[in-house]
Amino acid sequence: MNKTHSDPTVQPVPASVTEQVDAADITLSNPKRAVVSLGANLGNRLETLQGAIDALEDTPGVRVKAVSPVYETEPWGVDPGSQPAYFNAVVLIKTTLPPASLLERAHAVEEAFHRVRDERWGARTIDVDIVAYADVVSDDPVLTLPHPRAHERAFVLAPWHDVEPEAQLPGVGPVAELLGGIGREGILPRADLELRLPE
């Protein structure tokens, strides 16, 4: 049975995605592992991150397997102080969706939480990025894998390292080494905040 989300603001999964996973939703036969980065700096940031996690879990063919701690980070690519700080987290998922369909769902989640794409590096209610998908390395301009800037973003590497210390960024190297190379400047662990793993 396909799962549905109780929140009416979250758009239903497109029929094309549902058809692709079909009965595999129940068993997740031969699932692939993917890493998804979440960020929000508008509205109720923690609530939005949790809503995005729940919406991913409610996607046929997707199971959220781990949720990282929350980090508060300075906005990327803009002058400090020009935007509110972000809350960032990483989730590890298992999925039967191919990369293109997972990207379609990520965009649907962003739209459900009113993500606006008016400007590059602009403030946003939610950002859902596919960081890595299995060991796929691809320069497809629609979905470059792994994410082309993941290796230089502490707000991606630090929470990922927290939930998977031995992780490797495909085609690049160990997450621990990449994080050690760029340091943790501009990111603050928020031990007082917690995201829950969907039941």
Query: What is the model's pLDDT at position 25?
Result: 41
Q: What is the pTM of this model?
A: 0.82
Question: Is 25 known to be catalytic?
Answer: no
Taken in order 135, 186, 188, 89, the sign of the CA dihedral is negative
Q: What is the tens place of the pLDDT at every residue in 132-158?
A: 999 999 999 999 999 999 999 999 999
105 is catalytic: no
Among 25, 54, 58, 129, the active-site one is: 129
Identify the CA nearest to 56 among candidates 37, 73, 69: 37
Letter for the amino acid at 26? I
pLDDT tens by residue, 152-197: 999 999 999 999 999 999 999 999 999 999 999 889 999 999 999 9
Kindly report, residue by residue over 79-116, the tens digit of the pLDDT. 666 688 999 999 999 999 999 999 999 999 998 887 55
| CATH entry 3.30.70.560 includes domain 19-189 | yes
List, in order, residues 6 or more apart from 142 with CB less than 8 Å away.
Answer: 100, 103
pLDDT tens per residue across span 18-35: 344 333 344 467 899 999
